[in-house]
């Protein structure tokens, strides 16, 4: 059995033996623009530690060892310190599950003792009312839930009282867990017989790396079930009244990732193929690469006055919207100070939104001209 205590605890204690008994409980910001009212879970916040207090309930740190940071501390130290805090309780939970399964194998449950199930669950774009009924049922029956940064507190409040929550989120420049560690966590608890839920914002198979997790687990003989969520493109477009396709205006829609694999400013995709005036482009995670993308789209023939919109924290009370023509979008986003998570929609359908600041007559004329 691939026990978490061996795969994670042993490796971390070998590389960092001083982390076995952490000296500090870090409660500080590492450069996020967060506020207590934000529905988005940030890695290092008082709210997060309160919500996941099960991890620390047996630890009573001396207040002299608790400090706030005015400058960002070393991310590697924060990450290792946090994992060290979590490991003892995770190992205890894993041991309980293994003992329960052992009893089952000894005949305590009719001999029906297979591995647990893993559910990849999409929680939608932010509004908890957009969660599906099937997702809700699974969330409430889970033993352990591994959740990402964009899963709202309102969704986490729906978790069953006996379940355990573990944050495994990522943001630019900081991953609380590597993807390989997430794989091993899912595998270890599933092999111990747990019902494990992997909570992801939006849809787990749309830029959520859910396919990688599913492939890894299935190769290990673990059954994986996917519960789709409303992806940000659909949820946010509906919130703004933007039809992603519209007869005579857009006959297709394309989802793009704005992430550069090497962290640069060039998008991964070829803008030449995306510069289609009859298509709607939806860009996920594209703030840093938008200036380069916009220039390439215009270079390959997309009109500089193509309507576009950027939406931060869409479908939530903290939603912020910037409408613009393509040529000015990057500058207007910068002036407005939008931050991640922000979705970008580019295409003539944006002008059909009732929120589009230009005249409705212009939008109507555009549709009739098609």
Whether 285 is a known active-site residue: answer: yes
**Cα gap 87→89, rounded to integer Å:** 6
Among residues 7, 141, 170, 327, the one annotated as catalytic is 170
* 129 alpha carbon, distance to own chain's centre: 18
**Cα gap 138→135, rounded to integer Å:** 5
DSSP state for residue 287 in the 8-state scheme = T
Whether 170 is a known active-site residue: answer: yes
Among residues 82, 200, 203, 285, the one annotated as catalytic is 285
Are 94 and 188 in contact, with CB atoms under 8 Å apart?
yes
Integer-rounded Cα Rg, in Å, for the chain is 23
Long-range contacts of residues 34-37, Cβ cutoff 8 Å, at least 24 apart:
37/317, 37/318
Whether 148 is a known active-site residue: answer: yes
CA distances, 358 to each of 190, 298, 338, 344, 364 (Å): 53, 21, 21, 18, 11
Among residues 148, 203, 214, 296, the one annotated as catalytic is 148
Residue 174 token pair: 């900081």
* Residues classed as catalytic: 148, 170, 285
């Amino acid at each position: 059995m691939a026990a978490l205590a061996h795969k994670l605890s042993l490796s971390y204690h070998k590389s960092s033996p001083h982390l076995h008994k952490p000296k500090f409980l870090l409660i500080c910001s590492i450069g996020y623009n967060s506020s207590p009212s934000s529905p988005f879970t940030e890695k290092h916040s008082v709210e997060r530690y309160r919500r996941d207090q099960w991890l620390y309930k047996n630890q009573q740190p001396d207040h002299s060892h608790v400090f706030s940071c005015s400058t960002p501390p070393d991310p590697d130290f924060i990450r290792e310190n946090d994992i060290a805090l979590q490991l003892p309780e995770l190992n205890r939970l894993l041991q309980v599950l293994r003992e329960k399964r052992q009893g089952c194998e000894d005949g305590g449950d009719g001999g029906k003792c297979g591995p647990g199930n893993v559910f990849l669950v999409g929680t939608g774009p932010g509004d908890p009312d957009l969660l599906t009924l099937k997702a809700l049922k699974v969330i409430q029956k889970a033993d352990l839930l591994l959740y990402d940064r964009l899963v709202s507190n309102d969704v986490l409040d729906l978790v069953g009282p006996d379940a355990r929550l573990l944050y495994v989120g990522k943001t630019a420049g900081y991953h609380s867990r590597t993807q390989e560690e997430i794989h091993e966590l899912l595998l270890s608890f599933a092999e111990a017989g747990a019902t494990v839920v992997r909570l992801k914002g939006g849809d787990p198979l749309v830029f959520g790396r859910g396919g990688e997790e599913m492939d890894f687990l299935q190769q290990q003989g673990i059954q994986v079930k996917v519960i789709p969520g409303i992806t940000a493109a659909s949820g946010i477009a509906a919130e703004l009244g933007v039809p992603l396709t519209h007869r005579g205006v857009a006959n297709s829609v394309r989802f793009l990732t704005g992430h550069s694999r090497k962290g640069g400013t060039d998008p991964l995709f070829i803008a030449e193929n995306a510069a289609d005036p009859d298509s709607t482009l939806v860009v996920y995670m594209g703030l840093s690469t938008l200036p380069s993308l916009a220039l390439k789209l215009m270079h390959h023939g997309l009109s500089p006055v193509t309507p576009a919109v950027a939406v931060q924290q869409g479908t939530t009370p903290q939603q912020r919207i910037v409408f613009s023509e393509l040529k000015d979008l990057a500058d207007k986003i910068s002036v407005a100070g939008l931050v991640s998570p922000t979705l970008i929609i580019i295409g003539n359908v944006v002008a059909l939104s009732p929120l589009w600041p230009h005249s409705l007559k212009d939008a109507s004329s555009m549709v009739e001209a098609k």
